[in-house]
């Protein structure tokens, strides 16, 4: 039995987030990035974590039948509460979806309910912050005056007498 089967995605997700917090913390303390840069990185990290957890770290693409049902010794896959046989599995990579179809006509979704909203929120956050970073790079603060009068010019220097 693999560690993935024993611990499952929640423990692996917590481990990966804790493991990623160290480089992020070092980057923030050493480089002192702007707030939009920090939120862009956090948005990308949230999207990656949601996609990885939603696809059970690739298991949805390599062996989706294992996500839906237990395998009996004779090779049939069945759902223990209703004792129905698995007929098919539909996997979609974007949006996240692993849909299991049973002989009873019932379908179940194997992707966690929070994976897709977190994926979209992380992508939206990172895109918005990247747009803010590009705007701030093109128009640094204080250069563009919008609907404001420019400051008055500095007073002229008094003439100095030659000695």
pLDDT tens for each residue of 4-25:
555 555 676 677 778 888 888 8
Identify which has the larger pLDDT, 76 or 116. 116
pLDDT computed for residue 6 by the predictor: 52
pLDDT computed for residue 143 by the predictor: 57
Average pLDDT of the residues in 115-126: 93
Most confident by average pLDDT, 1-10, 109-118, 147-156: 109-118
Which tens digits make up the pLDDT trace of 62-88?
777 777 776 666 666 666 556 677 788
Band of residue 1 on the pLDDT scale cut at 50, 70, 90: very low
**Distance between CA atoms of residues 87 and 125, nearest Å:** 39
Continuous H helices in 32-68: 35-54, 59-62, 65-68
Average pLDDT of the residues in 91-96: 82
Is residue 120 over pLDDT 90? yes
Is residue 145 over pLDDT 70? no
Residues 47 and 55: beta-carbon distance below 8 Å: no
Using left for φ > 0, alpha for ψ between -120 and 50, and beta otherwise, residue 86 falls in beta
Which tens digits make up the pLDDT trace of 26-61?
888 888 888 899 999 999 988 988 888 887 767 777
Q: What is the pTM of this model?
A: 0.66
């Amino acid at each position: 039995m693999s560690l993935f089967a024993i611990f499952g995605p929640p423990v692996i997700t917590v481990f990966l987030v804790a493991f990623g917090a160290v480089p992020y913390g070092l980057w923030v303390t050493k480089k002192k990035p702007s707030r939009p840069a920090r939120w862009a990185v956090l948005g990308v990290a949230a999207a990656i974590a949601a996609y990885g957890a939603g696809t059970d770290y690739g298991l949805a693409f390599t062996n989706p039948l294992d996500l839906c049902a237990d395998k009996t010794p004779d090779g049939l896959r069945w759902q223990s509460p209703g004792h129905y046989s698995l007929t098919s599995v539909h996997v979609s990579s974007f949006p996240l979806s692993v849909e299991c179809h049973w002989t009873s006509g019932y379908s179940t979704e194997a992707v966690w309910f929070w994976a897709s909203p977190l994926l979209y929120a992380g992508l939206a956050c990172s895109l918005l912050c990247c747009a803010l970073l590009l705007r701030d790079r093109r128009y640094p603060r204080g250069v563009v005056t919008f609907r404001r009068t420019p400051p008055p010019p500095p007073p002229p220097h008094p003439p100095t007498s030659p000695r």
